[in-house]
Amino acid sequence: MTFDVWWLSYLVLGGFVGFFAGLLGVGGGGMMVPVLTSLFVAQGMPKDNVVHVALGTSMAAIVLTSLSSLRAHHSHGAVRWDVVRYIAPGVVVGTFLATFIASRLPTKPLAVFFACFMAYVSVQMLANIKPKPSRELPGPLGMSAVGAGIGGVSALVAIGGGSLSVPFMTWCNVKVHHAIGTSAAIGLPIALAGTAGYLINGFGHADVPPYSIGYIYLPALVLVSVVSTFTAPFGARLAHRLPVATLKKIFAGVLMVLCAKMLHAIFF
């Protein structure tokens, strides 16, 4: 394996991803996908599959983040395992099947869908939109259906599902800290199923970069994951000292800029 100077950028990206994940409690996919896409294009990778490789690599990187977050929330008794038990089957099926849809979508429509969803997440952060509790959780079949929807969208945009699962559970009168902890637990099967799906769908594809397994680019996966593991605790400690509400607004603005940069790299 020959060292590529571009790999240094993955170290920097991992630092930012881990820091903001610890600071704001958000998954790294929203930041990783547009940055990786732009970096892949700058490296001269074929544009036809750069978004697919960015999605697969981001989903694989979320596995370690989700596992770490799950352990932390479980230690504080914040995970509703009864919810996880009913929603996980739908999450796994929805996530896995959606990777087959994503792999067959052309790069440009996939990039536009990602940008639109991240715009929704950014507006949610900027406006601090929180649904009012108004009902109870549905039964097992309803939970599985909701899980399939959350998993499907998560696979298409390479997120851990928190942007959808936390508002849903809050709407269903689940306490906020339980909703966040349970969302962390749901994020692990999403990441595992998404990783498996992107690995299978990209396996043997001619236009993926060297050092890839399926749609997962190993240098980016390893370097981002290793560095983010070290920087996440720093972000978590600062979360108790800094104005997080203000930082969320800044992060939302950064997401919009990154998505705009990604679309520019793809279309121009």
Mean pLDDT of the chain: 84
**What is the reported pLDDT for 24?**
65
Alpha carbons 216 and 129: distance in angstroms, whole number = 34
For the chain, list residues with pLDDT below 70.
1-3, 22-28, 129-131, 236, 239-240, 244
What does the pLDDT look like over 7-53, one tens digit per residue? Answer: 899 999 988 887 877 666 566 677 888 889 999 998 888 888 899 99
Q: What pLDDT is attached to residue 3?
A: 64
Helix 176-202 × helix 140-157 angle, to 10°: 60
Please report where in the chains the tokens 């919810």 appear, as a residue: 83
pTM comes to 0.85
Q: 150 phi and psi, to 5 degrees?
A: -65, -45
Residue 2's pLDDT is what?
64
Give the contacts of 56 (CB within 8 A, at least 6 positions apart).
99, 158, 194, 195, 198, 199, 202, 214, 215, 216, 217
pLDDT at 239: 63
